[in-house]
């Protein structure tokens, strides 16, 4: 049973994480959550990402969501923004692919080419 | 979509796109009356009567990335396949209420599915929005009010994965101590 005490303990850890984030300018992951994304499994992908980040102690990575990006047939879509690098959009994502993407791209900086459906030329701030 | 929880997630996306600051999600299951009711209320931009009349039509959408919007028609179909009803009320500048009812035991009534995943997905992706989730099954109520959650951990903590994991398990356990019953 989850308790309020446990939540209050997380509070301090979370505040520390937020401080670290502000210094480091962390990685952002954005999951497409339009009707097309949801029907294709975006909810499971989103929660797999959150779960994997937690398991790997990557609390400094920020996960957010967006609506339909117009690539409905390639959903679920996941965008990864690493500071100073072009935005990478992965398509046809699953929970397992998302976990592999965290290990390879987020942790080690290695893009998984076969999952990529779009690459932005502009460099993320 | 195979779960009502996914339709609910989809309707919540409309509220988010309408700029809602507070979204209420209520599920009432009454096995004695054999009904299941889903209600999503937001304080977003709302719709005028013209758009409200057209919104049930799949070829109506406010987005520009594609020309069809299926969220509302799909949920309406899910309700009507289970001898239920679907209504939307909206006022421009005030907000929108989407309500779907179902015959609980109807053979074609979609399972409710994983509401813990739906609610934690919304919280994780939209930490600044407030969400009140209430799930009543006969006399038992469970749920979460993110305003009470934020009072405990602060708004920014809702972007921290370990906090979202805590929320997901809290919801799965069907707890109610982070809500006003």
Alpha carbons A72 and B68: distance in angstroms, whole number: 11
pLDDT band at A86 (very low <50, low <70, confident <90, very high): very high
Q: Which of A38, A44, A46 comes nearest B10 by C-beta?
A: A38
Structure tokens given for A13 = 């850890």
Interface of B with A in 142-181 (CB under 8 A): 149, 152-154, 156-157, 159-166, 168-170, 173, 175, 177
The whole-number pLDDT of residue B18 equals 92
Please report residues of A whose CB lies closer than 8 A to that of B125: 31, 33, 46, 63-65
Nearest to B151 by CA among B113, B117, B177, B114: B177
Question: Do B82 and B109 touch, CB atoms closer than 8 A?
Answer: yes
Cβ-in-10-Å burial (0-12, 13-18, 19+) of A75 comes to: buried
Rg (CA), chain B: 16
pLDDT in tens, chain B (181 residues): 889 999 999 999 999 999 999 999 999 999 999 999 999 999 999 998 888 888 877 776 666 555 556 888 899 999 999 999 999 999 999 999 999 999 999 999 999 999 999 999 999 999 999 999 999 999 999 999 999 999 999 998 999 999 999 999 999 999 999 998 6
Question: What is the model's pLDDT at position A20?
Answer: 81
Which residue of B lies nearest to A3 if distances are taken between CA atoms?
A: B170
Identify the bridge partners of residue B39 per DSSP, sorted by sequence position.
Answer: B26, B99
Most trustworthy range by pLDDT among A8-17, A23-32, B145-154: B145-154
pLDDT of residue B61: 66
Predicted pLDDT of residue B165: 93
The mean pLDDT value for A17-44 works out to 89
Residues of chain A with Cβ-Cβ distance to B126 below 8 Å are 64-65
Phi, psi for residue B63 in degrees, rounded to 5: -80, 165
Contact B179, B134 (CB under 8 A): yes
Q: Specify the DSSP element, H or E, that contains B24.
A: strand B22-30
pLDDT at B67 (0 to 100):
52
Task: Name the residue facing A10 among B6, B153, B159 (closest C-beta).
Answer: B153
Of B69, B70, B157, the CB nearest to A14: B157
Listed range (A8-12, A24-28, B113-117) with the worst mean pLDDT:
A24-28
A14 closest CB neighbour out of B160, B168, B170: B160
pLDDT single digits (tens) A94-113? 999 999 999 999 999 999 99
**Which residues in B lie closer than 8 A to residue A13 (C-beta atoms)?**
160, 162
CB contact (8 A) between residue A68 and residue B6: no
* CA distance to B71, B113, B134, B170, per residue, from B100 (Å): 13, 16, 15, 26
Report pTM. Answer: 0.92
Residue among B161, B168, B40 nearest B100 (CA): B40
């Amino acid at each position: 049973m989850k308790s309020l005490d446990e939540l209050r303990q997380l509070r301090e850890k979370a505040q520390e994480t937020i401080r670290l984030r502000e210094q480091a300018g962390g990685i952002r992951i954005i999951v497409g959550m339009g009707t097309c994304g949801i029907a294709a499994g975006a909810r499971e992908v989103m929660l797999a990402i959150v779960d994997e980040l937690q398991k790997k102690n990557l609390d400094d990575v920020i996960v957010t969501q967006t609506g339909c990006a117009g690539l409905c047939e390639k959903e679920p879509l996941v965008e990864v923004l690493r500071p100073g690098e072009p935005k990478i959009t992965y398509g046809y994502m699953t929970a397992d692919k998302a976990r592999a993407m965290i290990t390879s791209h987020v942790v080690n900086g290695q893009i998984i080419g076969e999952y990529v459906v779009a690459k932005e030329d502009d460099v993320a701030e | 979509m195979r779960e009502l929880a996914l339709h609910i997630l989809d309707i919540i996306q409309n509220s988010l796109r309408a700029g809602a600051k507070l979204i209420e999600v209520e599920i009432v299951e009454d096995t004695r009356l054999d009904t299941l009711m889903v209600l999503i209320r937001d304080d977003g931009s709302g719709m005028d009567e013209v758009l409200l009349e057209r919104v049930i039509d799949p070829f109506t959408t406010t987005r520009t990335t594609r020309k069809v919007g299926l969220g509302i028609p799909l949920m309406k179909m899910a309700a009507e396949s289970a001898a239920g009803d679907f209504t939307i009320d909206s006022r421009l500048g005030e907000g929108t209420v989407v309500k779907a009812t179902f015959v609980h035991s109807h053979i074609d009534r979609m399972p409710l599915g994983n509401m813990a995943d739906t609610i934690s997905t919304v919280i994780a992706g939209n930490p600044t929005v407030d969400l009140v989730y209430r799930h009543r099954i006969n006399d038992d109520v469970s749920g979460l009010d993110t305003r009470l959650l934020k009072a405990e951990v602060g708004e920014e903590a809702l972007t921290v994965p370990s906090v979202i994991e805590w929320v997901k398990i809290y919801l799965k356990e069907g707890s109610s101590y982070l809500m006003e019953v």
